[in-house]
Amino acid sequence: MTEAPKPLGVTTTPIPGFLRIDLTVHGDNRGWFKENWQREKMTALGLPDFKPVQNNVSFNDEIGVTRGIHAEPWDKFVSVATGKVFGAWVDLREGPSFGTVYTTVIDPSVAVFVPKGVGNAYQTLEPNTAYTYLVNDHWSAEARYTFLNLADETVAVPWPIALEEAILSDKDRAHPRLAEVTPFPAAAPAGRRVLVTGANGQLGRELMRQLPTAGFTATGVDLPEFDIADAAQMAAIDWSQYDVIINAAGWTAVDAAETVEGRRAAWRANATGPALLARAAGDNSVTLVHVSSEYVFDGTQEPHSEDEPPSPLGVYGQSKAGGDAAVTAIARHYLVRTSWVVGDGRNFVKTMAALAAQGVKPSVVDDQTGRLTFTTDLAAGIIHLLSSDAEYGTYNISGEGPVVSWWEIAARVYELVGHDRAEVSPVTTADYYVGREDTAPRPLRSSLDLSKIEATGFVPGDSMRRLEEYVHSLAATGKTQ
């Protein structure tokens, strides 16, 4: 090879996601050398970081060997080690590009990236051709394949050697015409396939409601079928199905965490589980969103900033801090710290409304202060981080507005349901827990500094206004009983 080598380059084609790669081949009197796959250089030029796991080689003795058209459920990086082929690709994915054709000649200086669902075929133009391809999933006989006949009249591939004179297998001759092909299912947009753990909880339900409307494909999982703290189960999951994990699972029984059994359960769910998710996310280049709590702090500072060091008072806070440490060890993470969550499920506001309806006059602590966080805002904030490609790291998300006590919230709930706020008596935390065993220490100050999340363009709603809307919705649906 005496010509000056081509520079490495990646170009698009009429098939969405299908790329042609020009490879740099260095030659002299001894032969030639090329970097056939170079992850860092190629991804910098726009090739997806598709993480190949298997390398296959198809050797062909004669000119005119023709194989295809096969669409597999994995991405492929195709090249030749020796020889030359005429390559043909047909988009067999459902959507507007179904049936689009692209052809080119592949010699050692050319490669192509073939997305899953795009039919792949080639015809050898030289003897002793070694056709090679990297794939990002292991071959499986159970996988779904989509086929198209090499002689289909609609796509009309211009084979250099007529198929009547070419060397074909009987299976390839029997594949269906385009009109009979069931399209390969369309994939979710890149970066938009989300696994939500803890999907049956307050936040999980809201995420499952909001994610689809924001353009994400969401899969929700929860106990008992899906246990994030089960190492064997986590290792068996095909993580290539997801781009993002949102971990909304957790043990939140703060007082029960102080018992022997509760301590084990809290650490298992809040530390071991997130650590296993972090390992899976790191190994598979999946973004991990992990929801944490202001209980990782002792409540002596206000407001709590993202860079405040952890200082948990009780087992629940300690277990959450353990999970946080594991999550922040991987690069692609959003650690979302929140407080006083209210959503669809059991929560403080619903409890107060029910007590008012029952004529109960409760005592509520007035020296623990913070802001309520409604799951509508918390879910929206998480989606904002993902949609805006915000810098990875830790973000506080709670409601905006005034910092108030639990007593002020309870008194306001009583007012909103038509009762006298004086029916709720203020009491100090120390007095409230006198004589109660196995109670966890609480941080007295729980408000979060929201300046970092707001700097990204997301401003949560005023928590007290959200409270009014929520209580009115409970009354309208009869859920205050």
d(CA 218, CA 252): 24
SS3 466: helix
Point out the catalytic residue in the list 70, 102, 392, 433: 70
φ, ψ dihedrals at 475, nearest 5°? -65, -40
In the three-class reduction of DSSP (H, G, I as helix; E, B as strand; rest coil), residue 363 is classed as strand
Side chain identity, residue 78: V
The total number of residues written for the chain in this structure: 481
Alpha carbons 49 and 399: distance in angstroms, whole number: 38
Scanning 268-342, the segments in alpha helix (DSSP H) are 273-284, 315-327
Kind of pairing between the strands at 244-247 and 193-197: parallel
133 is catalytic: yes
385 phi, psi to nearest 5 deg: -60, -45
- Residues 76 and 53: beta-carbon distance below 8 Å: no
Burial class (CB in 10 A: 0-12, 13-18, 19+), 70: middle
DSSP state of 127: S
The yes-or-no answer on residue 242 being catalytic is no
Q: Given 102, 122, 131, 133, which residue is catalytic?
A: 133
**Strand partners for 184:** 93
Provide the Cα torsion 297, 303, 308, 311; round to 10°. Answer: -20
Catalytic residue positions, numbered:
70, 133
